[in-house]
Amino acid sequence: MRTADGGAAAGRRVVVLGGTGYLGRRIAEAFQADGALVHLVSRSPAGDGPADARLALMDLLAAGPRELSGFFGSVRPDVVVNAAGRAWRADEAEMTAGNAELVARVTQSLAELPRPPRLIQLGSVHEYGAGTPGAGTPEDHEPAPVTPYGRTKLLGTRTVLRAVAEHGLDGVVLRLANVIGAGAPAGSLFGMVAAHLGEAARARSRGEKPDELRLPPLRAHRDIVDVHDVVDAVRAAATAPGADVSGHVVNIGRGEAVPMHALIDRMVELSGVDLPVVETVPGHSPRADVEWQQLDVSRARRLLGWRPRRTLDASLRDLLAAAVPAPVNGRT
């Protein structure tokens, strides 16, 4: 069985779209460590990204096919990872621009190159919609997304698969579970809870009473995957034989559904901050999300030699260590 070893990436030219974002910068760092020549594409400076990576400042949402084609033609990448897109604090039109229209321009530009690279598109579990309680969702499940994010990410996935079928693009979609780890975006549930716990710890240190943690009802079960495991999956997908992965969707998750109320309780316990968690009463608007997400990850094991390695506690400790200014307590 193939292992998730990125050593074969040494010497390859790798472009990471959205290369200064939460996932993009970690993916770039991993390829840099593997010896690849990494190019980051972002409208924002690199910040804490890999020091030796080359940065192309470009507003991907505004970049037309000619600008993208010129960039890809000058770099001549072996691998392109699309970690760009819109998720948090964006409306459906903004998500469509970032998650669907951008993918269409990227695939068009790559397909026109004399030697198209491997395109790794980062998809989302939210493309599936509702899962079957007690079971994992396989890649051949018919998607029925219920959120704008899921709908627009599915459009991006279908664009990649169509480019493979119609234009011979070498492309694979990694459909990611909910990603967790240090520096999770503030707009995400995990990032928001970590930030609140950090502020609560600082309030305690000042002798103040912290605000209670108020959350929407935590009825859902979610498949959670560590950001480091996602990076390993991307590395594996970059070097897998095209005959194995091109034109495929591959689920990347832990393959289990975790009760969100238990996960948040564990975050509070590990933080060492004693404060109440209050689940607010929902309004009268219909729920915009599903209550069960669990991925079947057997294809990832078969095609990529990949499996999740990080425990949930390890992921939570990383998340909290970056946000809470105190030792993180609790048992592994």
Active-site amino acid positions: 149
Burial class (CB in 10 A: 0-12, 13-18, 19+), 47: exposed
CA pair distance 194, 188, nearest whole angstrom: 10
Give residues with Cβ within 8 angstroms of 307, minimum separation 6: 297, 300, 301
Nearest to 124 by CA among 267, 225, 236, 21: 225
CA pair distance 163, 109, nearest whole angstrom: 11
CA pair distance 40, 320, nearest whole angstrom: 27
| Number of residues assigned to the chain | 332
Q: Are 117 and 50 in contact (CB under 8 A)?
A: no
Q: Are 248 and 15 in contact (CB under 8 A)?
A: no
Query: Hey, is 258 helix, strand or coil?
Result: strand
CA pair distance 104, 228, nearest whole angstrom: 28
Query: Hey, is 270 helix, strand or coil?
Result: helix
Query: Hey, is 169 helix, strand or coil?
Result: coil
Relative orientation angle of helices 102-111 and 148-167, to the nearest 10 degrees? 10
